[in-house]
Amino acid sequence: MADGITSHNTELNNPHVRHGNRLMAMHMSWGHDTVFLTDRWPGNDPAMFSLAIIFVFCLAFLIMFLLRFEYTKPGTTKVGACLFKTELYTVRLVVSYMVMLAVVSYNGGIFLAAVSGHAVGFLIFRSRLFGKWDHE
């Protein structure tokens, strides 16, 4: 009985979680050997990790793009417009959850890619830097 309690306490104090036959860090790391979204991707290949960073950046950028269609113009109460908004909301929700799952890989590069994608997307699609904001 005491061994079960001791082993449980040791697992709670361990900053790593076993993920298959690999240990997954539960703190921010900066290496390219990380796991997110799937067990084998990006793995320990630096080229695949670079592709993963670009992928997460593009997903975060896509979220900000989809937010452009958040508001409807006055007088658009048709069923088709409502279904279109529902589809856009669902796509944005799925992409947002994918970015969230990537960020909880606790990899610094992935985190910075997500934040940068949101920031660049906001700069282009939501700020007034490149013209009048559509919803004012």
Tell which residue, 99, 29, 104, 34, has the closest CA to residue 62: 99
pLDDT tens per residue across span 58-79: 999 999 998 887 665 555 566 6
Cα–Cα distance for residue pair 25/15, rounded to 1 Å: 6
C-alpha 96: how far from chain center: 6
Q: Is the backbone peptide bond immediately before 15 cis, with ω within 30 degrees of 0?
A: no
> Which of 14-18, 24-28, 41-45, 83-87 bottoms out in mean pLDDT, i.e. has the lowest?
14-18
> Which of 5-14, 36-45, 112-121 bottoms out in mean pLDDT, i.e. has the lowest?
5-14
Provide the percentage of residues in the chain whose pLDDT is more than 90. Answer: 28
Residue 8: the pLDDT is: 46
- Say which residue, 109 or 20, is predicted with more confidence: 109
- Whole-structure pTM value: 0.69
